[in-house]
Amino acid sequence: MADSDPFFEVCWHGESIGDGGDVADALLSYALVRPEDGDWAAACAAPGASPCLRRYASFDAYLDNDDELETIAVTAAMIEQALDGI
């Protein structure tokens, strides 16, 4: 990953649970918190879940504690599609 490539931090219940160099890769981190019943809609709607990706200009920007460029809300459908088949 080049320094100018964006970097994504994955958040769940206000905590960082993973990261990735692109959205598809980052979304795979949600496998770590997969609900036992597989109901992502309910899990994402739970109070405080607030699944999101924080996009940074680069990995270095993330490490330097720069502010994120944007926060991307993550839906249950996005997670289900990313985790389909794994």
Count of other CB atoms within 10 angstroms of residue 57: 17
What pLDDT does 85 receive?
81
Q: pLDDT of 38-47, one tens digit each?
A: 999 999 999 9
d(CA 32, CA 17): 8
Enter the pTM of the model.
0.92
The full length of the chain comes to: 86
Instruction: Give the DSSP H or E segment for 16.
Output: strand 15-20
Q: Where are the domains of the chain?
A: 1-11+22-56+66-86
Q: What is the pLDDT along the chain (86 residues), one digit of tens a residue?
A: 555 799 999 999 999 999 999 999 999 999 999 999 999 999 999 999 999 999 999 999 999 999 999 999 999 999 999 999 88
